[in-house]
């Protein structure tokens, strides 16, 4: 999702996500024509076909599919144009009217637009709304689900330290090895923030990758004690890692929100907003992590995973 300045702010870049989800886009696009033609909604919504896009990584495509199915269930006609590319590409398409709706991450989107994100979800969301409104883009309600940088340890390390929060790593008295992207020592969200915000020290730092397979392997093999992954990465549950709570608010808020053309909001009003806001209200970090695990590691069909989730939370019959 982040092929732009966000790589420098918190390193959630497309290449790091594609390794586990490369096949999702092909599966979703294969069903797009059928799904668009066969709405399950009982009440038809006359008006503009809503073109739904996504970034070119699996989680964005999955959330976009959830939006699509939820809208179809309420009688809206949608067209899927997933895996558009990086934020620079899909944001431009959204502003140009080529797309009408995309899933967004509030901190990264605000940074892209030149704003300054904080760990405060409400403040960051409001700042994003203000920043994007002049371009004709509305930002609806944020989900509890956040996908941002997180520091992870093995269960053994967590148990030995009694660690549930990042601040609990202080109990190790500087004996732990930190692993992460090579630029971590120079980034405020990474080593600098761990030192300045949390007062932590480490025995050493090992340069690896940004939330990728090198970090996972190093954690599993005991080459590092603490690694930087992404908070909704299915590998956390798959490998039994422990995601430490960012109890001092080092990371900017990254709640997922529907970013939608204001013209579409004006056309459909609360009928549309209520559907998307209901999706946001039900979408938790835990739920999204589990869906990522099912798609990225178990190999389940992402379209069916989206359907199952919508049924489980009571948004479709």
What pLDDT score was predicted for residue 158?
98
What pLDDT score was predicted for residue 44?
72
Least confident span in 1-5, 23-27, 260-264: 1-5
Least confident span in 39-43, 208-212, 259-263: 39-43
Q: Which residues of the chain form CATH 3.40.190.10?
A: 6-146+252-312
- Residue whose C-alpha is closest to residue 125's, from 229, 6, 253, 265: 253
Q: Read off the pLDDT band of 34 (50, 70, 90).
A: very low
Between CA 81 and CA 144, with CA 304 as vertex, the angle to 5 degrees is 75
Assigned CATH for 6-146+252-312: 3.40.190.10
pLDDT higher than threshold 80 for residue 24: no
Q: Tell me the pLDDT of the chain averaged across its residues.
A: 89
Least confident span in 44-48, 193-197, 228-232, 234-238: 44-48
What pLDDT score was predicted for residue 212?
87
Calpha distance 16→12 (Å, rounded):
7
DSSP string covering the chain, please? Answer: ---STHHHHT---HHHHHHHHTTHHHHHHHHHHHHHHS---SS---S--EEEEEESSHHHHHHHHHHHHHHHHTT--EEEEEEEESHHHHHHHHHHTS-SEEEEEHHHHHHHTT----S-HHHHHHHHHHHHGGGTEEE-PPPS-B--EEEEE-HHHHHHHT-SBGGGGGGGTT-PEEEE-TTGGG-TTTHHHHHHTT----SEEEE--SSSHHHHHHHHTTS-SEEEEETT-HHHHHTT-EEPB-TT--SPP-BEEEEEEHHHHHHHTHHHHHHHHHHHHH--HHHHHHHHHIIIII---HHHHHHHHHHHTTS--
Kindly report, residue by residue over 297-317, the tens digit of the pLDDT: 899 999 999 999 999 999 998
Q: Read off the pLDDT band of 45 (50, 70, 90).
A: confident
Q: Read off the pLDDT band of 12 (50, 70, 90).
A: very low
Q: How large a percentage of the chain has pLDDT more than 70?
A: 86
Task: Give a three-class secondary structure readout of 10-24.
Answer: CCCCHHHHHHHHCCH
What pLDDT score was predicted for residue 229?
95
Sheet holding 101-105: strands in order across?
Answer: 78-85, 50-55, 101-105, 256-261, 137-139
Kindly report, residue by residue over 65-99, the tens digit of the pLDDT: 999 999 999 999 999 999 999 899 999 999 999 99
pLDDT higher than threshold 60 for residue 295: yes
Kindly report, residue by residue over 204-227, the tens digit of the pLDDT: 999 999 888 999 999 999 999 999
What pLDDT score was predicted for residue 28?
54
Q: Which residues of the chain form CATH 3.40.190.120?
A: 149-243
149-243: CATH homologous superfamily?
Osmoprotection protein (prox); domain 2 (3.40.190.120)
What pLDDT score was predicted for residue 43?
65
pLDDT higher than threshold 90 for residue 39: no
């Amino acid at each position: 999702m982040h092929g732009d300045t966000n790589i420098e702010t918190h390193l959630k870049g497309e290449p790091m996500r594609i390794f586990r989800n490369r096949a999702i886009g092909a599966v979703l696009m294969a069903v797009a024509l059928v799904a668009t033609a066969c709405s399950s909604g009982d009440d038809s919504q006359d008006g503009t076909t809503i073109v739904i896009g996504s970034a070119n990584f699996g989680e964005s495509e999955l959330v976009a599919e959830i939006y699509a199915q939820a809208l179809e269930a309420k009688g809206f006609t949608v067209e899927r144009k997933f895996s558009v590319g990086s934020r620079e590409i899909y944001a431009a398409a959204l502003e140009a009217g080529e797309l009408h709706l995309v899933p967004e991450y509030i901190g990264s989107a605000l940074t892209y637009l030149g704003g300054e994100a904080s760990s405060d979800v409400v403040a960051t969301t409001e700042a994003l709304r203000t920043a994007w409104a002049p371009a004709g883009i509305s930002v609806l309600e944020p989900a509890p689900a956040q996908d941002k940088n997180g520091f992870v340890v093995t269960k053994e390390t967590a148990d030995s330290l009694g660690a549930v929060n990042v601040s609990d790593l202080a109990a190790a008295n500087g004996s732990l090895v930190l692993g992460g992207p090579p630029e971590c020592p120079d980034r405020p969200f990474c080593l600098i923030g761990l030192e300045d915000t949390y007062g932590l020290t480490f025995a050493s730092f090992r340069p690896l990758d940004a939330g990728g397979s090198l970090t996972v392997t190093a954690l599993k093999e005991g080459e590092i004690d603490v690694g930087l992954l992404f908070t909704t990465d299915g590998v956390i549950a798959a490998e039994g890692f422990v995601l430490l709570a960012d109890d001092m608010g080092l990371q900017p808020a990254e709640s997922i929100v529907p970013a939608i053309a204001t013209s579409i909001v004006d056309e459909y009003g609360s009928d549309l907003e209520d559907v998307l806001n209901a999706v946001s209200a039900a979408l938790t970090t835990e739920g999204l992590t589990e869906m990522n695990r099912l798609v990225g590691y178990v190999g389940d069909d992402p379209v069916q995973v989206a359907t199952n989730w919508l049924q489980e939370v009571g948004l479709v019959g």
